[in-house]
Chains A and B, each alone.
Chain A
Amino acid sequence: MRALRSSAVAAIAAVAALTAVSGCAQKSDTKGSDAVQVKASDDKCEVSKTSFPAGHVKIAVENKGSKVTEVYVYAADDRIITERENIGPGTKAEITATIKSGSYEIACKPGMKGDGIRQKITVTGGGEKKSDPQLDKAVAEYRKYVQQQADETIPAAQKFVDAVKKGDLDEAKKTYAPSRTGWERTEPVAESFGDIDPKTDTREDGLEKGQKWTGWHRLEKSLWDDKKITDDDKALADQLMTDLTAWQKRVGSAEITPTSMANGAKELLDEVYRNKITGEEERYSHTDLVDFEANVDGAEKAYDLLKPVASKNDPALVQELDKQFESVKKALGDYRDGDGFKSYDSVGNDDRKKLSDAVNALSEPLSKLAAAVAK
């Protein structure tokens, strides 16, 4: 996989979507008097209110100073939310932006330079959801699940690592795919630790220049393609264990929200669609279908936990998702072989297309789950 979007990012995106909705609702009844007045002078930046509701915010600036000024709204990390430059002395300007709840700073910059004269502001409510005990429970349960998957991964990975270190090619091949299951089930959360994922789960084409290739897929190549275990591989196996142990220790602190769970479920299916169905993920071991099932398991878990809320808000969606999860699992079931699955290189294009179509049919409604739990 390519670890790029994390669940944290998805969560931010989802919150932004929420504020956008409430922003629209407020837009129509925004009156001139609702605007935040900013009086900027050469040495002052007076803000009429330092606390206002989230959503579509209007800021009316009046430059009472002698210098050309500019006004910025900064987020806590100094990211610019909105700004207006070139506000001449004695002139007025209006800035509008959709701002979600949180702490911000308004800065006036007389002479248009420097960090400016800053005023802390708080944006409240609006886009923020009231806490919902049902959703809180879903998040708590999912957090438990994520931790449990990491905990179960450690002994499974240890078996694989031991086999590699013994130089036992057959045993290493047998234990490779099961060592990945917990990771694959919770991949969007696992990926949110940006420093671990590149070390454990990078494919050869995802390497940065100068980056040493480590982790599962490097060992996969040794086992299936090079067909031998080197001393370097044994060291890599140790490294994998160290990295996975770090993940297990930290995963409980991951940022999880109902929308990040829902978007994470969708991302798991995106993973299937992009990397598993094409056979790109496990290009040497051809154990793609094992990952496939793990991704679907993890998505279904998040869905099941969100279902009580989603079925209140969008019963038709829940009905469709129930149906499509069954359909994907059934399609996958055709390729079961003993404890695992058929080697993916034995699955022809016609069959791959059937799997792809089933994943599409599930992913499309699944992409609406976040909105259904955020209502």
Chain B
Amino acid sequence: MTDNTTKTNTADDAEAAGKGAKAVPSRRSILGWGGAGLALGAAAAGGTAVALRTGSDAQPAASGGDAVPFHGAHQAGISTPVQDRLHFASFDVTTTDRAALVKLLQEWTEAARRMTAGHEVGDGAISDNGELPPDDTGEALGLKPSRLTLTFGVGPTLFEKDGKDRFGLKSRRPQALIDLPAFKGDNLDAARSGGDLCVQACADDPQVAVHAIRNLARIGMGRVAIRWSQLGFGKTSSTTPDAQTPRNMMGFKDGTRNIAGTETDRLDKHVWVSEKDGPAWMTGGSYLVARRIRMHIETWDRTSLAEQEDVFGRDKAEGAPTGKQREHDEPLLKAMKPDAHVRLAHPDSNNGVTILRRGYSFTDGTDGLGRLDAGLFFIAYQRDVRDGFVPLQKNLAHHDALNEYIQHVGSAVFAVPPGVRDKGDWWGKALFA
């Protein structure tokens, strides 16, 4: 970890002090030493991060508190083993000055580099100058890196909005970055849809994820503004093959056959944009679709178990596909009802369409009518939306028995550029080149 930043602050001083060694202070180590924390007690998380920062495609084996490498051929937070919590934010770019936008992306990248390693942003949370508000908002002090990943994307409106090419990027828009078509049953709220930029923050500690988005939003003020954001608490899919598939808010295991982070062949085939897909600035990137899917929790809960199981095409206890014994048994689609969710979502029912799912459950309190505002914040990554989410959702919107109990209320699509390679690289550099 050779973090050659020119800024002077506690973390960097500490880093300099520990250079060559494995020592970088975690936020935890700083806590308790106040602003004078410096290099004291520098051990925990940073060392692991260094150890992990090997090959660009290395699967971080990080557990709960560790750091996930920020640099790599692909952005972290896609094939990375799914963390427990999410804070997803969509931004409108408010400046019309291309140079100002570029500067923001550079600042964001630096802040992301620091936060994912467990450091504070800027001059830290406890600044030397008592007259100034601190650069870092401080609520992550003392918390581990918590496998924080920050994944950055650009939406269709960055390239053209209301017929205007604000940043001279129109000709660089990937063909795969389409405006999603309207699907049957959509009830989309414009205030929860779209956006020029997005950042997906995933971490095992919710406060670490929230801290990251909050600080990026603060850095961006005057240049970008949050359009909408979404907290997610229960991961609903796993990219780790042996892990238990988590249950969604309907009490079912879903997304059992997800692409695993270790399946490089399937990732190359279905998730990463290849050189020949074009445009060049997207090679190694991916396309992200986010859908806020509200669940009609109350009516679902009043549905008989037999019908619930028919709707999914799984048994509720084990998660086994209809007629099978175990969750990971190969599903027998013909054993399911024709409108069963698993049957309709399966690649075999969709000409092999496969996407990487990374969704989270959400509950944003109640909706004013006394109903839980709960559901699934669906996130999918794919090599091309036109061969991924679009045909799949067309099929589901048309036939899925689950539609009786869900409603899509928010939607967004983003092009996620490849990973930040090194210290000199930044989010979107190739796009603005």
Q: How far is the CB of B292 from chain A (nearest CB, A)?
A: 16
Contact between A82 and B323, CB atoms less than 8 A apart: yes
Partner of B323, one of A16, A81, A366, A367: A81
Interface residue? A296 (CB, 8 A): no
A10 near B184 with CB under 8 A, answer no
Q: Which residues of A contact B394 (CB under 8 A)?
A: 209
Task: Determine if B398 is an interface residue (Cβ-Cβ < 8 Å).
Answer: yes
Find B186's partner among A16, A17, A205, A360 (CB 8 Å cutoff): A205
**Which DSSP category, helix, strand, loop or mixed, fits chain A's interface?**
helix
Shortest distance in angstroms between A344's beta carbon and chain B's nearest beta carbon?
A: 13
Known: A20-B306, A209-B184, A360-B298. A4 touches B404 (CB 8 A): yes
Partner among A81, A97, A356 whose Cβ is within 8 Å of the Cβ of B370: A356
Cβ-defined contact, B298 with A273, below 8 A:
yes
The minimal Cβ–Cβ distance linking A152 to chain B, given in whole angstroms, is 28
Known contacts A83-B323, A205-B186, A356-B371; is-contact A370 B298 (Cβ 8 Å): no
- Residue-wise interface mask of B (361-402) relative to A, using a CB-CB cutoff of 8 A (1 in contact, 0 not): 000000011110000000000000000000000100010010
Contact B184–A207 (Cβ < 8 Å): yes
CB distance from B314 to the nearest CB of A (A): 14
Closest to B333 in A: A80
Q: How far is the CB of B308 from chain A (nearest CB, A)?
A: 9
CB of A80 within 8 A of CB of B332, answer: yes
**Is A278 positioned at the interface, with any CB of B under 8 Å from its CB?**
yes
Q: Does A118 contact B (CB under 8 A)?
A: no
Asked if A97 and B323 sit within 8 Å, CB to CB, the answer is yes
Distance (whole angstroms) from the CB of B291 to the closest CB of chain A: 15
B310 within 8 Å of A by Cβ?
yes
A79-B335, A83-B332, A274-B296 known; A206 vs B185 contact (CB < 8 Å): yes
Q: CA separation between A42 and B339, bound complex, in Å?
A: 36
The distance in angstroms between the C-alpha atoms of A17 and B310, with both chains bound, is 11
Within 8 A of A (CB), among B299-331: 299, 302-307, 310, 323
Q: Are B306 and A13 within 8 A (Cβ)?
A: yes
Per-residue CB proximity of A68-101 to B under 8 Å, as 1/0?
Answer: 0000000000111111000000000000010000
Asked whether B63 is an interface residue with its Cβ less than 8 Å from the other chain, the reply is: no
Cα separation A10 to B304 with both chains bound (whole Å): 9
Q: Shortest CB–CB separation between residue B297 and chain A, in angstroms?
A: 11
State the CA gap A277–B310 with chains docked (Å). Answer: 27
The answer to whether the Cβ of B334 comes within 8 Å of any Cβ in the partner chain is yes
A366 to B299, CA, bound (A): 11
Chain B 166-224 residues near chain A, CB threshold 8 A: 181, 184-187
B263 → chain A closest CB, angstroms: 24
B230 adjacent to chain A (CB < 8 Å): no
Complexed CA–CA distance, A209 and B404 (Å): 19
Contact assessment for B404 and A80 in the assembled complex, using a CB-CB cutoff below 8 Å: no
CB distance from B373 to the nearest CB of A (A): 13
A81–B335 touching, CB < 8 Å: yes
Distance, CA A20 to CA B317, complexed state (A) = 14
Closest chain-A Cβ to B303's Cβ sits at a distance in Å of 7
| B310→A16 contact, CB < 8 A | yes
Contact with A along B133-163 (1 / 0, CB 8 A): 0000000000000000000000000000000
Known: A97-B323, A356-B370. A206 touches B184 (CB 8 A): yes
CB of A353 within 8 A of chain B? Answer: yes
Report chain B residues within 8 Å CB of A367.
Answer: 302-304
In the bound complex, how far is the Cα of B409 from the Cα of A278, in angstroms? 14
* Any B CB within 8 A of the CB of A170: no
B334 touches A80 (CB 8 A): yes
Q: How far is the CB of A58 from chain B (nearest CB, A)?
A: 14
Q: Is the CB of A2 within 8 A of B398?
A: no
Q: Is the CB of B302 within 8 A of A270?
A: yes
Interface pair A5/B401, CB less than 8 Å apart = yes
Rounded to whole Å, the gap between the CB of A160 and the closest CB of chain B is 27
User: When the two chains form the complex, which single residue of B307, B323, B334, B369 contacts A13, counting CB atoms closer than 8 Å?
Assistant: B307
Minimum CB distance partner of B296 in chain A? A274
Q: Most chain-A Cβ atoms within 10 A of its Cβ — which of B181, B332, B371, B398?
A: B371
B403 CB-CB contact with A under 8 Å: yes
Distance to closest chain A CB from B307 (angstroms) = 4
Q: Can you list 26 A-B contacts with CB-CB less than 8 angstroms, sorted by A residue number?
A: A2-B404, A4-B401, A5-B307, A13-B304, A13-B307, A14-B304, A16-B306, A78-B334, A79-B335, A80-B334, A81-B323, A82-B323, A83-B335, A97-B323, A205-B184, A205-B186, A206-B185, A208-B398, A209-B181, A209-B184, A273-B298, A280-B187, A352-B369, A353-B368, A356-B369, A366-B302
Residues of B within 8 A of A (CB): 181, 184-187, 296, 298-299, 302-307, 310, 323, 332, 334-335, 339, 368-371, 394, 398, 401, 403-404
